[in-house]
Amino acid sequence: MGKLGLDPEVVRRARELAVRAGQPVVDLARSHTTVSVERAVLRLAGVRGADSDGIPWVNRLVDAVRADVGLGHGVAVPVFHALAAEGLADVTVLAQKAAAGAVRFGVPEKKGEVTAARRAARRAANAGLKVVDRRRAERERLIRRWGDAPRRPWIYLIVATGDIYEDIPQAQAAARAGADVIAVIRSTGQSLLDYVPEGATREGFAGTYATQENFRLMRAALDETSRELGRYVRLTNYASGLCMPEIAALAGLERLDMMLNDSMYGILFRDINPIRTFVDQRFSRQVHARAGIIINTGEDNYLTTADAVEAAHTVTVSQLLNEFFAHEAGLADWQLGLGHAFEINPEVPESFRLELAHALLARELFPDAPLKWMPPTKHMTGDVFRGNLLDGFFNLVGALTGQGILLVGMMTEAVVTPWLSDRDIALQNVRYVLSGAGNLHEDFVPAPGGFIQGRAHEVLGEAVGLLERVVEDGLLNAIADGTFGIMKRPADRGKGLDGVARHEPGYYNPVTEALES
């Protein structure tokens, strides 16, 4: 099977185990909701703006419904029943009145009132989804008009100043220098905010806040540059943290093209409650599927905490779980930017061959996915010459194994915030390797039975063994035991657990209804 001679039965077994491990979590997600899921519903239904303290009206509205009737029925029916009872046409006005304590919410008991509230909620939510559909069609039209990146992998470069008005010229300069995907990294700590800031922001720390207005501004700027360059430049942000569903909805409304959206990253590295995360990620991925957005998963992060050789199989297990969760939510293979990374200590003997084996294993397990290949960070030392060489090795592995999305590594990575000149040198490195060896994957075939094939088989076998244990113990228990990234995260702890609710009989969500139909 392919260049690695993988046993199709072992591969089939791995995917079967991933389904068995993931299905109980999907069942859990299907029977629960969260404050962020309900806020995403109301954002798509038209709630806009924030109060004088910067708290979005959608938060105020969901909090008011929750205080009166809880979340178990969903917010759509109580909100649209109250909208009719108050004689209002604007759900944002209802939110403002609710925040002032002027509206009380209830779950209607008469069948006719329930039907009318559902019909009104469905109409409002579908109007939001139609905007998402138009934005997806707009992307496809602009790619036809302006053209696409002329090669794979797409070159992915991060911008992170904290000020959206500084990010914009840097992003445009990066696109002119050859970047195909611009990622606006999110402000430190935003994943733990249980609201989405409003408006354009200029004060992020080590990144820029993910807001709808920031999305709109950057998308418009990159459209100008796309027109200038004659190729469509893609935009990435983060649909993760406590507001994952809402940010996914805003990304769809503003035509973002990729979103970081990993099933376990928030659990492991931000201590967000596992149940909250799995419920939120399923809804967010359904929105991404509808919007035609490519997700980027976060397996590379495991190797910044665990040893990249010993824990290589945990990356494969996470990729298989992310694939299952994504397919179940409606994402196609072309939308699966599954993550992996070049993070083996370069002092380890045969480190380059090991990286080749791991990267090629990912490529062959997911042949139709645009894998996201991440550069070295853990073993960057501040020696910029060594770092630039290490990034060159990383770029070469990407070329040899046909990766789909290549994040530009910089020689000052994980040491200082890179300067514009650092990015320029890093892009030169990428261009040189891809120009000189970009099609080398057509010629590269590991020796049958040799080191690279043997290592790939070993990692896949270890992944199957771990999946068997996860199936036996349960995925939530495996996460609690520190199986992934050595972080131990019990299901009954973590941030955001108080924002989770089990569905009551009659729970209604018009967005889920539309996305699943």
Positions annotated as catalytic residues are 265, 300, 372
Region of 266 on the Ramachandran plot (φ > 0 left; ψ -120 to 50 alpha; else beta):
alpha
Alpha-carbon span 243 to 40, nearest angstrom: 9
Which residues touch 357 (CB under 8 Å, ≥6 apart)? 446, 451, 452, 453, 455, 456, 459
Count of positions (residues) in the chain: 517
C-alpha distance from residue 20 to each of 162, 172, 470 (Å):
42, 45, 9
Which residues touch 389 (CB under 8 Å, ≥6 apart)? none
Q: Tokens 């909805």, residue? A: 249
Which residues touch 477 (CB under 8 Å, ≥6 apart)? none
Q: Tokens 């945990």, residue? A: 314
Question: Strand ranges (DSSP E) for 253-395?
Answer: 258-260, 294-296, 336-337, 339-341, 372-374
Q: Tokens 């008011």, residue? A: 64
Q: Are strands 339-341 and 336-337 parallel, antiparallel or unpaired?
A: unpaired
Alpha-carbon span 342 to 378, nearest angstrom: 9
Let me know: does 118 contact 126? Beta carbons within 8 Å: no
The dihedrals phi and psi of 434, each to the nearest 5 degrees, come to -70, -35
Let me know: does 135 contact 87? Beta carbons within 8 Å: no
What are the helix and strand counts (H, E) for the chain? Answer: 19, 11
Nearest to 279 by CA among 344, 350, 329: 329
Alpha-carbon span 202 to 216, nearest angstrom: 15
